Copies of this chain bind each other. A is one copy, B any other.
Amino acid sequence: MAKTEDDKSAPLRPVPRLPKGFRDIGAAELREQQAMLATIRDVYERYGFEPLETPAIEYTDVLGKFLPDQDRPNEGVFSFQDEDEQWLSLRYDLTAPLARFVAENFDKLPKPFRRYATGSVYRNEKPGPGRFRQFTQFDADTVGAESIAADAEMCMLAADTLEALGIARGDYVIKVNNRKVLDGVLELAGIDVASPDDAARRLTVLRAMDKFDKFGADGVALLLGKGRKDESGDFTPGANLVGDAISKITGFLSAAQGDRDSAISRVLPTIAGNERAAGGMEELRQMSDMVRAAGYGPDRIAFDTSVVRGLEYYTGPVFEAELTFQVKNDDGQIVRFGSVGGGGRYDDLIACFTGQKVPATGFSIGVSRLQAALASLGKKSAARLGPVVVLVMDKGEVAAYQKITQTLRAAGIRAEMYLGSAGMKAQMKYADKRGSPLVVIQGSDERAKGEVTLKDLIEGAKAAAAIKDNKEWKEARPAQVSIQENELVSKVRDMLARHEA
């Protein structure tokens, strides 16, 4: 490809390239994705959610700033000015647009309002391996429901969705926590969670707690104290809490480890005396009772003190769908696959518009992350066969080949006439590259007799592997059959049926 810089005498041409963090998705991955989205949609519909689509572009002030990267408030979002100078942004998730939609249409909607949505979201962030600036989310939300049953339902929805996609029980767990409990623990550690002055420290502490799965109690203790240096020597500044405060938090985090069934009872002493935490624990207990009554044991939905979730706007239960089976990471280490989605309750978000509290809860799936998980479990549907290719043996007879092609298509058979200008050999290569199961050949002698030849490329490849001798090959002409043109559809169907079983 000619670079514009290279050659001063050549006309100035743009270099065909994508901006960093964006990617093209090819046929095989798209087909897998479509099948996956259809399965998710089925489960969400079964739960009574209705589809809604909002546009990719919204007013910047309407989207607000609820990204995890609160320390970079002007980044994270793609923004630009409209002709009337108002700022527009590309949506960075599907929740902020939902809040706008509900506030705008509140009186018309059934209450509770239950919708699902899927689509691309955009993050103006530094891309990395497996981290893109455009990616797909699949969300379900219940708006206008104060009941903790709505949160319990989100967890069951998540579990059912993963199982519907073929992820075995035991290979996943929906981990549940509650922001009220976390804030209670922070209060016990001496942080004023309601005060704007302590907001930055609260965020540092929550982020440290989020790392419990990764670094354990000792690592988190460093992040809560003076800071932590990683293997590469990079230093993360800490929250500068004192020893007693630190051990309150790590004690809470550690208490839930081990047997999931009794985790709640083990955690209770670590938060004794804090009213906020007690309220959160009561909600967790209620959720636990509900999902157990509906048949979802702690192997599927379980309390976990280390679930924080990055978004600022959560106010109560938070949950995370984690895949527990092991994979090799990019550095060759064996690790748990990890999170493929999550969500929680956000009772104050819609009040940003209306001034009135509208309780809401939701769950969001990271589509490509989940697709990667299915791929690593070998959950791939069989690759689709390519089209039947009708070869062009005689360029003057294109209309005749086109007619053969349309006859196949009209019968519902995936087919195409070769549309390039190359010869027989290149046409066979093309059919091969397209994954065609068979080609249709008609030379002038055959046309005169009203015949066509069908060549089975899959059987042919097997036969070619078995037959060593070129002469033997020519005599046998394996996987090739001459038929009458009026038998075309039925014979092609027979041949395809062999490979589609």
Contact = CB atoms under 8 A, between A and B. Distances in A.
Interface stretch (A173-181, A272-280, A290-298, A463-471): A290-298
Contact of A149 (B124, B156, B417): B417
Interface stretch (A80-88, A225-233, A263-271, A446-454): A80-88
Contacts of A2: 354-355
Contacts of A82: 19
A421 interface: yes
B52 A417 contact: no
A343 to B, nearest CB: 15
B56 A27 contact: no
A398 interface: yes
Given A122-B57, A355-B10, A419-B149, A434 B110 contact: yes
Interface stretch (A332-340, A402-410, A490-498): A402-410
B295 A406 contact: yes
Contact of A293 (B111, B354, B399): B399
A194 interface: no
A47 interface: yes
Nearest to A415: B48
A104 B415 contact: no
A24 B111 CA distance: 19
A353 interface: yes
Interface in A19-36: 19, 22-27, 30-31, 34
Interface stretch (A139-147, A235-243, A314-322): A139-147
A103 interface: yes
A50 B22 contact: no
A491 to B, nearest CB: 18
A308 to B, nearest CB: 25
A170 B152 CA distance: 55
Given A112-B419, A294-B399, A22 B156 contact: no
A412 interface: yes
Given A103-B1, A409-B160, A19 B52 contact: no
Interface string A354-398: 110000000000000000000000000000001101000000001
Nearest to A418: B112
A19 B355 contact: no
- A contact patch SS: mixed
A2 B355 CA distance: 8
Contacts of A55: 18, 22-24, 134
A13 B413 contact: no
Contacts of A8: none
Contacts of A47: 387, 409, 414-416
Contacts of A425: none
A289 B397 CA distance: 11
A352 interface: yes
How many monomers of this chain does the complex have?
2
Contacts of A27: 50-52, 115
A120 interface: yes
Q: Which of A45, A99, A406 has the most CB of B within 10 A?
A: A406
Q: Which of A11, A16, A415 has the most CB of B within 10 A?
A: A16
Q: Which of A11, A18, A34 has the most CB of B within 10 A?
A: A18
A147 B400 CA distance: 15
Given A402-B293, A409-B160, A421-B146, A415 B46 contact: yes
Nearest to A107: B1
A474 interface: no
Given A57-B19, A409-B46, A409-B160, A25 B13 contact: no
A66 interface: no
Given A398-B290, A420-B112, A14 B352 contact: yes
A325 interface: no
Given A1-B106, A48-B414, 18 more contacts: A13-B354, A16-B103, A19-B58, A19-B59, A24-B53, A27-B50, A34-B51, A46-B415, A47-B387, A56-B120, A110-B434, A111-B430, A149-B417, A153-B416, A153-B417, A156-B406, A293-B403, A295-B403
11 contacts: A11-B355, A14-B64, A16-B99, A16-B103, A19-B58, A47-B416, A48-B414, A290-B402, A293-B402, A293-B403, A294-B402
